[in-house]
Chain A
């Protein structure tokens, strides 16, 4: 017990003194979060949506009211502005046009009972700006809700938008768990590989092997240290996510267990890499070569569904995909079924990889 506490205390102390390690583990994820968040999403907590209501009817006002009620959208009247030009100039990423005669069209569609084409809200957007995608998904949801109310689930209002990849959560809310998952992976793999390769190169392992400390205690120390660091890193990312983008994730035991399980998966992976690749630099390179592609194919930054089919197969075997799904479900969507399934996958892989990691890890040679 004393050994375990000493191990944890001093390994945390070492970690926090090593500015490089602290930066890559705690601050780098935030840099990515902010960078991606701003570049892809535009920056403010809410989306600005310009509209031009040429119909100015009860229905059109109702729709605008409904959009306003989402609170995610900040509506701005663009009457009298050349919205099309603004979009082309990149000043805005999306706008909504309600054409004259919209209400009338709805009335007709209602009477025709779905046989007539519903009038459409015209949405103009810049596909190169992903913040527009998030808005479209919100618009879609609002419109679906409206349809339910207007006509017993017969679509009477449509949205005419092109190439829309619908996302059910806003991009920031999507991104935050992805970044946390990614940083769990990179901290655990790179941290473990770096620490082990370094300890071997400097001979610290050889020295440890001459003391009575057992590998079980030593590895228990590693798990505890890694969990503490990952919790801190997660907390910092959540605070940053809140301050920059107003995302308020759920904090629950499920999410904490996900983090521990993810830590086990990727520490185990790191131990295995470091056990088979003895050279410090080669091992570090191998770790990056493995984690870098996983970062992109596992749904950290954008949904797996948006990738070509062959990458989706990669995503299916990447443990990070399940960690991301689990974190997203427990932190954002509250989908317990997905969370439990992901946890089961991550937990099982974690136990296997960690046990294998401990078994293949050697302090001494024969």
Chain B
């Protein structure tokens, strides 16, 4: 039984009459990378900022590292590290100065140069923050979030707006946190990010948690199984395949078939033999694994990307 570092019970947050977080409860265990996955406006930042003592909850009980957020704000702040959404440090200070500045704000802080080395920022230590690329800024943000050697690290959308290369770098940095044994609370609207980084994912939608589990677990439960895809078939081939494979449907010139749990082989064999036997013209055939994207689609009827623009 691992200990919980965060316990949230019946958290509600209202802005006027609008309910941004609607009665959610969850626990985060020590040492895990926990992700909130949800589209824009789902309530991710609101929840995270309540845990960071930046916002006060409308109701609910929340404890962080055993402290009540309403009573022990300062104790919590000493022990957590935060990278806010679209983080920006002091523009006219260098990387090193920024890390040092924030380090001095805590009673206990890490060695600045060691931290800079750890995040591969050595070359940039004397560069002004405003002159850094987006990916580097985020990495500096993570380094700063670690400056007080926190027990929990909160990262709010750490890769939004980054190019794929910079995203990989930030992902590596987050993986390094896990290796250091930190508990990480991550929010994202990228399903691949949650899949790659998180030990456990909570899907949040319109202020409610609608699913909880490891990425594989969620995919198995809500992903709707795997899909067989046969692409660019001729008209005759398409009609034959639709007849042969149970539960198949057409999508343009493609034929798609959901593979039943633990029994996908049958459908695949049928497809292959139909194509072989009838000399059907199709370009390719493959099985697409369902993703967290499908989980979200199946749970909400909406796509993540659509809302996340």
**Also in contact, A204 and B88, with CB within 8 A (given A17-B128, A212-B77, A366-B55):** yes
Q: Say whether A13 contacts B55, CB under 8 Å.
A: no
A window 1-51: CB within 8 A of B? 2-3, 6, 10, 13-15, 17-18
Q: Say whether A210 contacts B77, CB under 8 Å.
A: yes
Q: Say whether B92 contacts A203, CB under 8 Å.
A: no
Q: Say whether A203 contacts B85, CB under 8 Å.
A: yes
Return chain B residues, CB-CB under 8 Å to A18.
Answer: 92
Q: Say whether A14 contacts B93, CB under 8 Å.
A: yes
**C-alpha spacing A365/B102, complex, angstroms:** 21
In the complex, A209 has a CB within 8 A of chain B: yes
**C-alpha spacing A15/B92, complex, angstroms:** 8
Nearest Cβ distance between residue B150 and chain A, in whole angstroms? 10
Pick from B80, B82, B84, B90: contact of A10, CB below 8 A.
B90
Q: Say whether A212 contacts B101, CB under 8 Å.
A: no
In the complex, A88 has a CB within 8 A of chain B: no
Return chain B residues, CB-CB under 8 Å to A15.
Answer: 92
A198's nearest neighbour on chain B, judged by CB, is B91
In the complex, B54 has a CB within 8 A of chain A: yes
In the complex, B193 has a CB within 8 A of chain A: no
In the complex, B74 has a CB within 8 A of chain A: yes
Interface string of B90-104 (1 = CB under 8 A from A): 111100010011101
Q: Say whether B104 contacts A202, CB under 8 Å.
A: no
In the complex, A207 has a CB within 8 A of chain B: yes
**C-alpha spacing A6/B98, complex, angstroms:** 11
Return chain B residues, CB-CB under 8 Å to A2.
Answer: 104
Best-buried of A2, A17, A212 by chain B (most CB within 10 Å): A212
Q: Say whether B97 contacts A211, CB under 8 Å.
A: no
Main secondary structure of the interface of B (DSSP, over half): loop
Interface size on B, residues (CB 8 A): 31
Return chain B residues, CB-CB under 8 Å to A365.
Answer: 55
Pick from A13, A207, A209, A212: contact of B107, CB below 8 A.
A212
Nearest Cβ distance between residue B51 and chain A, in whole angstroms? 10
In the complex, B56 has a CB within 8 A of chain A: yes
Return chain A residues, CB-CB under 8 Å to B80.
Answer: 210
Interface size on A, residues (CB 8 A): 23
Q: Say whether A6 contacts B84, CB under 8 Å.
A: no
**C-alpha spacing A303/B78, complex, angstroms:** 55
Q: Say whether B89 contacts A207, CB under 8 Å.
A: yes
Q: Say whether A207 contacts B93, CB under 8 Å.
A: no
**C-alpha spacing A17/B242, complex, angstroms:** 69
Return chain A residues, CB-CB under 8 Å to B77.
Answer: 210-212
**C-alpha spacing A207/B104, complex, angstroms:** 14
**Also in contact, A10 and B101, with CB within 8 A (given A203-B84, A203-B88, A210-B82):** yes
In the complex, B210 has a CB within 8 A of chain A: no
Q: Say whether B93 contacts A10, CB under 8 Å.
A: yes
Return chain A residues, CB-CB under 8 Å to B128.
Answer: 17
Q: Say whether A6 contacts B101, CB under 8 Å.
A: yes
Q: Say whether A207 contacts B84, CB under 8 Å.
A: yes
In the complex, A206 has a CB within 8 A of chain B: yes
In the complex, A213 has a CB within 8 A of chain B: yes
Q: Say whether B54 contacts A13, CB under 8 Å.
A: no
Q: Say whether B105 contacts A3, CB under 8 Å.
A: yes
B141's nearest neighbour on chain A, judged by CB, is A207
Q: Say whether B105 contacts A212, CB under 8 Å.
A: yes
In the complex, A61 has a CB within 8 A of chain B: no
Interface string of A182-210 (1 = CB under 8 A from B): 00000000000000000000111011111
A sample of 7 inter-chain contacts (CB < 8 A) reads: A14-B91, A203-B85, A206-B54, A210-B80, A211-B102, A212-B78, A366-B55
Given A6-B104, A10-B93, A365-B55; 8 other pairs, CB 8 A cutoff: A6-B101, A10-B90, A206-B54, A207-B89, A207-B144, A210-B54, A210-B80, A366-B55
The 6 closest A-B pairs by CB, nearest first: A202-B88, A14-B92, A6-B104, A210-B82, A211-B105, A17-B92
